Structure 1
């Protein structure tokens, strides 16, 4: 039995939801979706010595994971519902530290699922602006794109 593992986020991820719908409609079994929030609020265990990953009633042998898709996994707001944040108030230093710790877990997953085919990796997150430039270079049509912090520039573009 082989698995597909998808790392995503719970809300606002319609692309992942559409892929999941297609996978289920195709009767592909043994798919595990792990949202960034799950690694904070749900029980999971990485049993490094025995090379197993336990997640929500699934025991995943990394040697049986054929494909891993790393999509988006969390936003900064992921920590808004952590109980001790409510007690002590938002602490940006702590939040950045916890985001870094989550990142370390994703780096480890890359090693843990080393034998699997990865579609995107945490360590190789896609740079949308770079991809737009590459697409233009090879003659693909892309929508008009501007990156600015100028409200004056944005208002000028909207009026056109």
Structure 2
């Protein structure tokens, strides 16, 4: 059974999660489902997925058993599509999904060009370069890349706090 989209999830994020379930890329998922031609993507790739028409959504609904109305609700508004150097995210919200701890999710609100700071963790959002996103095939690959980055940052931080300061 195909994973259901979360209420606050981005359409591209859901496609990325769906592709990850089958261990393929979003492009491979789109082609294998015979949904139609993959829409022209922005510089951020499939994560900033453009809105698709109801015919395409109907084909996708038949394959995933997810209602068209549900998919319409999570699509990226056309006004949010732009050539951006990076996309914002909250690491904790990405990897610690309270609705399903085994399913990371890319929140739709992060795709808003004027995305506010994370309301859950009360901090500004981090970013991942669009050039990096274009090279990653599905959401697991994105989470893995971001996780490695956070692991290195955490390790540097732990080294800083555990290293005694030299006294002058």
* TM-score category (smaller protein): under 0.3
CA radius of gyration, larger in: 1
Larger relative contact order, structure 1 or 2 (CA cutoff 8 Å, min sep 6): 2
| TM-score w.r.t. length of structure 2 | 0.24
